[in-house]
Structure formats: C-alpha cells, structure tokens
Chains A and B, each alone.
Chain A
C-alpha cells in the first residue's frame, strides 16, 4: 500500500470525527455529549417554526405617515415645477438651495392636516402658472378650493387606501428582505391589514433581540446640507441646565472658507434625551423654522479640537442645524458594504449609488462645494464631511461611532449594511404585540416526517447493497458519511431544520448515490471487458470522474445563480443544494476511492463483486 493512501484515509477519518464533534451538541438529547464538547462547539441545528415554534412579533404600520409623505412629495414637485415656470430653476437640473429659496418667496406651501396643503402665491400672475393640467397630471391630487391667491389642494380620498396598502406591502417586503439577510433562519413574514406579523423560530432571547432591532430600524438615510449661513444656534437664549453652547470654525462655501458657527452639546448619562427634549420645546414654540431641522448626532473625539471634547467612552451628543429638505435618500442605494479605514482601522460603511442617485449626488456636491453635508440616518447625524469637490461615480462612505468600543461599532456597521441593502421602510412601524407560539405542525406530523425519511434512506441502503453487492456496501458506507457531513454543515451554519428540510435531506442522499452508481457501473463495464479488479477500479474512477465532475459543477452553477438572484426560500434552497453538492462530492468520490483502494491494494482482492 502506498503512503498516499494512509494520508487520505486519515483525512477521511479526521473529517468524520470532526463532523461528529460539530454535530454532537445538536443531538445531545439522544446521545448525551460531554460538557467539554458542548462548550467547544456551540453552533447547533435549530428546529424550525413548524417543529418547535418560536416568537410571534406583530408590528403596526403607521400608514398615515405614507399619506403625509405623498403630500410632501407632491409639494416638493409643485414647488420645483412652478420654480421652473417662473424661470428661477433650470429644467432638468437639481435646483440649488438659493433657487428654491427664491421660489419660496413667490410661492409659499404649507402642509394642512395629514393630506392637505395650502399654496399661497405672491400675485395673480404667479397663480396663473398653476394650471389644472399640472394638478391633473399627478393623478392623486385635487383642488379643494381657492380664495384670492391662496389655493387649497389635497390628496384624493380614493387614493388614500391605495397609498396605505402599498406602504404595508413595501414594509412587508423590506422586513422580509432584512430577515432573510440574517441567514438561513426560516422566519415567516406576513401582512394582515395594516399589521405585519413576523414569526421567528427558536427560543434564543439574544437572537430575538437582534431581530427586533433590525426590524424596527427605519433605515431612512438622508443627505442634508448644513446651514452655515444662519445665526439660529448663536441666538438661542434659554439653554437648559446641562446643555452648553460651543463654537467651531467651518467652511461655508467657496467664498467663506472659515466662519465661526455655534452648536450645542451635552455629555454624560441622559445627554441625548436632554438635547432632544430641548429641541422638541423649540419645535413646539415655533422657534425652529419649518424648513429647517435641528438634529442630534454622536459627539466624537475626532471632530472636537476644543475643550468641550468628551473623554473617550463617555456618552456625548451635539447638534447640527440643517436645511430641511433631504437631497438624496436611501432609495438611491445600489450596494453597501463594511470596510475599514486603512490608517485608523475604524470601520465604515461604503455605499454605491445607482445611476440616478450617482447623478443627483454629483449635482448636489457640485452645487455645495466647500459646504458641510450631514449624512443623516434615522434622524441622527452620522457624520458631516465638508464637500471638497464635485463627486462623480456615486461612491460615498459613512463613518460610525465616536465613543463606543470597536465591536459594538462593527456590529452596528454590519446591521446597517443589511438594512441599507434591504431598503428603508417606507413608513415607520411600531411593535404592537408579541407572544411565544407553539409548533405550527403537530408532534405526530414531525414524527411521521422523520419516519418517512428513515424509511426512504433505509430503502436506498438496502437496494444498493443488494444490487451492487460489494460496491453497494461501500456506497452505503459513504452515504452515511454524507448524511453525517450534511448534518454537521447544518449545525455549523446554525441552519433551521424544518419538515421540508428533512425531506430535502433524504432526497439529497438519494441523489448523491448517483456518483456511486456511475462509478459502480463503470467498474462493472471494465470488469466485463476482462480487466483485473485493480485496473477496473482505476479505470472506472478515472472515467466516471469527469461525468460526476461536470454534472455536479453544472448543478453547483445553477445553485449559485439561484442564491445570487433568489430571495427568501429560494435562497435557502440554494444554500442546501450547495452544501449537498460539496458533501456528496467528498463522500461519493473521495471517500469511495479510499475504500476501493484499500480493497484492491491493501486487501489485494482479486475478484470484485459488483452485482
């Protein structure tokens, strides 16, 4: 026997032992595992919703927000179109801040209630530019009445239901995408009138919490320009206890490279709440202009060159005074991923915009050179880089975290990527109910499924042994190795085992036998041609190998494509398929060869019984 055989045999043995160790904690109930194994290998197969039940979360979609959003969108569009008609805004180009301000001086649009708006024109000539066709083109807007130069518009009642339903469906799909992105966990996401129901298998509170966080993140990403021409913060007089005013020197456009601007900040426990309470009072008293936003963000050490800089790890928050309109939103995102800054090692999220987004971003940066742009995520300022030059190509990055430990930041970055890729929720959602639920399938159903799988696998084993005799017994042995490997892979990836998953396991075994059938048939052909057992094995493997290789590779290719383009269950299916192909290639080709070689070389069997 050559040395190579021992190496290969040891490799097979090591794989089998390793797989068993990985799988052991998952089957602890039937084969008690020593505590040492349990602490070393913590990944387990988790039973799915149908087998063990899980958590049922219910969310209420704030559908009326969708109506408000539609109204705001129409208001923006109207302002821009009329600005174009007044000759203040160039057609087809993203308007600059100044152009919109000039338009707003001639036409004031104020929201009324949840679906109405009031248009106040400077004079009748301007009013005349608003024709019926313009309103009719939107389809969902109607004129309620007019008085002098004031026109009342609102969203048509017959469109309200449609807007709300679309919002619920979009929210459902977004949540479903986010849940998918967490991996193989088979959760179910359904909509029920204005509610969304998420059912998560398992009983792991930490996993549930991550799921909750991920679901309720709105993930509304907005890019807003910082208003560095205003004295709003400087003029605030009634700062409460614990909130302090500071100044910073910033660049406010090409003509003003260094201006001194004020901001307010708070430190320590409850600092964020303190600031947001104060901002709420400003809003309530009407001091904060409606076309501006006063937002909070983390106060990082890096951007504080003054004495107000907080000590590392201490909670600290500050404000930004922003122009209210979002220039780009998360809808323009094509791709997002986590990366590390080369010199500081700080994690950041890199974003690629789609073509439209890239163009808007280019125009936005071109129109605001040397101004600060705030990157706002769920109403929190993530960073405020100064735009140095026009940025084409549609790339941008978000730096996270000022005072928090690295691990926390990297996890936040990963979750941010998930939600950015899955898209923002069209409207906010609110958790409304939560309950633990039992298995959707009865115990007898599970028992039946397991029995069906055992019978199926036993039939295959029996058939192979009878039909191919020695080669069949070898096939049976490698088939059991294959089953072990597949289960170990499921445990390693913490896959969820559902009843259909059990069917897939049995089926995988059946399909994996193909490799052994091909090999056995070839060996049989060679034996019949009068070859010795040894050369029949060599030739049989050599010839069958390319059939197996090409057929499995083609299937693998299909699986990868399904994974890339599929969603939800299709993706889960593709992962199972890939795992099945890899384990069956290893067991069917590599392990079989080791055993056959032992027979014809080690045991020097001269006549091989292949049925």
Chain B
C-alpha cells in the first residue's frame, strides 16, 4: 500500500508558502508567549495546591464509589486515597481552594480590628488556601472572643484555637470553606455513611514549586543551545537556527493552546511539552539530513529548490511517522483518566505542530537565513 506516490520528476513547491507560514507562525508564537504571561496558564493542583480532607466513614464505601460521588458533585479530578489498615478511612484531595477575594480579606480585617477596640492586632494573615486566618494580638484573649470579633464582619468560622506559646497571643481560626461544602455534598448523596465533620481539612501546597518551573525552562534553553551547536557541527551553521526555532515554535504552540483553552497545566503537561520537543527535533533532523545528502549530489541546484526536492522526497516518511506516533496514543482518548487525556491532547497538538514546523518553518527559515543573513555578511 502507498498513500504518497513519490514521483521524482514532480516536486511540490513547499517553499511557496514560506512567507505566509513564517508570518502566521511568528504571530501565533508571539500570541502564545503573551498568553503565558497574560492571562497565564491555568495551573493545576501540582503547581497551585488544593484542599485535602481526611475522613472516617461510618460504613463501608469503596474508593471507586466515593470517587464517583465526588466527581458527580462537580469536583474536578479528585484523588481518593484509602488510608492504612482501617477500611473506611480516606484522604480526599481536590484542587478547589476556598479562595477569599482580597476585598473580603480587607473587610474582615477592618471589622476585626474595629471589634477588638483597644487590643492591637500585630499580625493578620489569611492562608494561601483561604482556609485559615492566623492572628497575633498584643494581649491575651479568649478564643471565643476572637471568634466573635471575626464573625462581626461576616467571616464564617468553624473553630478558633490558640496557636504556639500562650505568651505569643496567637490564634488560628479555621474557616468554613470548600472542605465543609464537600462533606455536605457527600452527605446528601451517601447519607449516614458520612460523618458530620472530617478528621481534618487542610490546604496543601503545590508539588512543584517555583524551582521546578525555572529548572524546566532552564533545562530547555540549555538543550536548545546544545542542539544548535551539534547541528552546526554535524550539518552546517545555516541549519542550526532553523531546527531550534521549529522546536521552540512547537513548545510555544502547545503551551499557547493550553492557555487558549484554559486547560489545566500539570506536571503531565511539562512532560508532554518535553516529549514534543524531542519529537520535533527528531523530525527536523531527518529532513536536514536529506537536504545535506542532496546538496552533495546536486551541486548546481539552489537551496530553495533543494529544500523543495528534499521535502517532497521525505514527505511520505514525515506523514507516516507522525500518523503512526499519533496512532500509538489514540487509545488513551477513549480509555484514559482525564489527566491522561489532557497529556494526550497536548501531545497531539505538539505532533501536528512538529510535523508542520519541520516542513514550513525549519527548512524555509534555513533558506531565509542563507539568503538574507549569511549572503550579506
């Protein structure tokens, strides 16, 4: 079987679209980069943290059942983890946090200070998860009085406890939030099996901090630099920027699509982008290799024509490889958890972009470099 009859006498003029594609891709990449800063990616629980509950059920509920119920309540991708030997104890992790808008925080703080009168407030801080207010007062007070003062301005408090050494006058007020809502929802669905209060509700920090973000980006930049050097050494100096630009283009497009669709940006997304980078450079090098081979054979043909010939000769392979790669992950679109489906989505975008960028970005850019930059020097 053969989809693409390659006829050596008929060369497809890919380079015709050099300018159109260059400008379009440039704009798309620019839009992606802007999008990464504004509005910015929709970071998932890996990067942003979430809310964690530990709950002891009164009767047997399987983890599948519990997960299903949490999902039915509208929570996105919950983790339902069975704990230890006791069969009815679970940790539930959801990415929703009880966010308190800054305006409301200010209002609560102002109201709190007013209610306290002469007692000075040394510290007032709402936790990043919006589940807790930590206060430090200048003199000692009863937790109940602190609670009353906080409630005057509309804060919904579950408990207030003394925190740290008594002479510090520090208090922690746990707020009614996402955790309580989840428990209420579960109760309406599962009834008596759900206890009134969870064992604990806490905000959990992100798995991947700032460090990972910078390290990943840095690693990517270094990889690009090394690839440039290798290509310049193995092929030709003219080829080096084209390959790297195509690679950067693909990574940016995937990230840009994530921003555009406001899909959740997780550690899986990072892995997907890195895979796309690997695929993209691999794909590009194959065409560069063919150009190099043809260059040696057809000395009198210009680079423009040479790229057309080489691209035509390899078009069959380019498309088959990208199709086969796509086939290998097709199954996950139907059978896969939502997290996996997102990763596969990112890969699909990346492979399409990678195939396109090899033909319409990497090689044409090399020709443009050759014509515009190097000839002038």
Chain A residues with a Cβ under 8 A of chain B: 53, 56, 64, 157-158, 160-161, 169, 172-173, 188-193, 197, 435-445, 448-449, 451-457, 459-460, 463-464, 466-467, 469, 499-500, 503-504, 506-507, 509-511, 513-514, 517-518, 521, 524-525, 543, 546-547, 550-555, 557-559, 561-562, 564-570, 573, 577, 611
Tell me the complex Cα distance, A553–B233, Å: 13
A441–B136 touching, CB < 8 Å: no
Are the CB atoms of A443 and B331 closer together than 8 Å? no
Could you write out 8 A-B pairs with CB less than 8 Å apart? A192-B203, A193-B127, A437-B82, A506-B328, A551-B283, A554-B285, A562-B274, A573-B271
| Contact (Cβ within 8 A) B285 A437 | no
User: Counting CB contacts under 8 A, is B377 at the interface?
Assistant: no
On whether the beta carbons of B123 and A160 are closer than 8 Å, the reply is yes
- B235's nearest neighbour on chain A, judged by CB, is A550
State which of B18-26, B28-36, B316-324 sits at the interface with chain A: B316-324
A561 touches B202 (CB 8 A): no
Q: Are B289 and A568 in contact (CB under 8 A)?
A: no
A503/B340 in contact, CB under 8 A: yes
Query: In whole angstroms, how far apart are the Cα atoms of A267 and B255 in the complex?
Result: 63
Cβ-based interface call for B118 (8 A): no
B327/A514 in contact, CB under 8 A? no
Distance of A552 Cα from B285 Cα, bound (Å): 9
Report the minimum CB–CB distance from B4 to chain A (whole Å): 10
A residues within 8 A CB of B231? 554
* Closest CB in chain A relative to B231 CB, distance in Å: 7
Name the segment of B83-91, B104-112, B176-184, B186-194 touching the other chain: B83-91
CB of A435 within 8 A of CB of B84, answer yes
Q: Which residue of the partner chain, among B164, B223, B343, contacts A561 with CB atoms under 8 Å?
A: B223
Contacts of B325 in A (CB 8 A): 507, 510-511, 513-514
Which B positions have Cβ atoms within 8 angstroms of A?
1-2, 6, 49, 52, 63-64, 67, 79-85, 91, 93, 122-123, 125, 127, 132, 134, 136, 164, 202-209, 211-212, 215-216, 218-220, 222-223, 226-227, 230-231, 234-235, 267-268, 270-271, 274-275, 277-279, 281-283, 285-286, 288-290, 293, 313-314, 316-317, 320-321, 323-337, 339-340, 343-344, 347
Find A437's partner among B84, B218, B314, B337 (CB 8 Å cutoff). Answer: B84
Query: B327 and A452: CB pair below 8 A?
Result: no
Cβ–Cβ < 8 Å partners of B220 in chain A: 562
> Which of chain A's residues have a CB closer than 8 A to the CB of B79?
440
CA distance A523 to B327 in the complex (A): 23
Q: How far is the CB of A443 from chain B (nearest CB, A)?
A: 7
A557 near B230: Cβ-Cβ < 8 Å: yes
The one of A191, A435, A550, A566 in contact with B234, judged by C-beta atoms closer than 8 angstroms, is: A550
B286 near A551 with CB under 8 A, answer yes
Q: Is the CB of B290 within 8 A of A547?
A: yes
Q: Chain A residues near B323 (CB, 8 Å)?
A: 463
Evaluate contact between B1 and A555: CB separation under 8 angstroms.
no
Q: Is A193 within 8 A of B208, CB to CB?
A: no
Alpha-carbon distance A523/B95, docked complex (angstroms): 53
Question: Which residue of the partner chain B has the closest CB to A199?
Answer: B81
Q: Are B289 and A547 in contact (CB under 8 A)?
A: yes
**Residue B286 contacts which of A436, A547, A565 (CB distance < 8 angstroms)?**
A547
Report A-chain residues with C-beta under 8 Å of the C-beta of B204: 190-192, 197
Least CB distance from A19 to B in Å reads 21
Task: Check if B278 sits within 8 Å of A559, measured CB to CB.
Answer: yes
Q: Are B63 and A506 neighbours in the complex by a CB distance under 8 Å?
A: no
Q: Is the CB of B321 within 8 A of A514?
A: yes
Which B residues are in CB contact (< 8 Å) with A197?
204
Tell whether, in the assembled complex, residue B202 and residue A569 are in contact, meaning their CB atoms are under 8 Å apart.
no
Which residue of B1, B212, B279, B313 contacts A568 across the interface (Cβ within 8 Å)? Answer: B212
The answer to whether A562 touches B223, judged by C-beta atoms less than 8 angstroms apart, is yes
Contact across chains for A190 and B206 when beta carbons are under 8 A apart = yes
A554-B282 CB under 8 A given contacts A503-B329, A507-B328 = yes
Q: Taking each of B80, B270, B285, which has the highest tally of chain A beta carbons within 10 Å of its own beta carbon? A: B285
Q: Bound complex: CA of A524 vs CA of B2, how far in Å? A: 10
Closest to A547 in B: B289
User: Which residues on the A side are within 8 Å of B93 (C-beta)?
Assistant: 440
Q: Indicate if the CB atoms of B337 and A449 lie closer than 8 Å.
A: yes
**Chain B residues, Cβ within 8 Å of A466:** 1
Question: Could you tell me the distance between the alpha carbons of A460 and B208 in the complex, rounded to whole angstroms?
Answer: 34
Q: What's the Cα separation between A553 and B229 when bound, in Å?
A: 13
- Cβ B328 vs Cβ A509 within 8 A: yes
- B63–A518 contact, CB under 8 A? no
Q: Inside 8 A of A188's CB, which chain B residues have their CB?
A: 207
A388 to B125, CA, bound (A): 54
Give Cα A254–Cα B74 distance, bound, in whole angstroms.
76
Q: Complex formed: what's the CA distance from A452 to B336 in Å?
A: 7
* A444 and B336 form a contact (CB under 8 A): no
Report Cα–Cα, A64/B164, bound state, in Å: 10
Residues from chain B with a CB closer than 8 A to the CB of A509 are: 328
Contact A569/B271 with A507-B325, A510-B328 known, Cβ cut-off 8 Å: yes
CB distance from A116 to the nearest CB of B (A): 12
Contact of B1 (CB < 8 Å), options: A448, A459, A467 = A467
Q: How far is the CB of B350 from chain A (nearest CB, A)?
A: 11
User: Roughly how many angstroms separate A557 CA and B278 CA in the complex, as a whole number?
Assistant: 10
Q: Which residues of A contact B164 (CB under 8 A)?
A: 64
Q: Are B268 and A467 in contact (CB under 8 A)?
A: no
Pair B202/A192 contact, Cβ less than 8 Å = yes
Query: How far is A491 from B204 in the complex, measured between Cα atoms in Å?
Result: 33
Residue numbers in B under 8 Å from A611 (CB-CB): 1-2
Q: How far is the CA of A84 from the CA of B216 in the complex (A)?
A: 44
Q: 4 closest Cβ contacts across the A-B interface?
A: A510-B328, A438-B82, A455-B331, A191-B205
Asked whether A157 lies within 8 Å of B122 as measured between CB atoms, the reply is yes
Q: State which of A189, A521, A546, A555 has its C-beta within 8 Å of the C-beta of B207.
A: A189
Distance A161 CA – B125 CA, assembled complex (angstroms): 9
By a CB distance below 8 angstroms, the chain B residues around A573 are: 271, 274-275
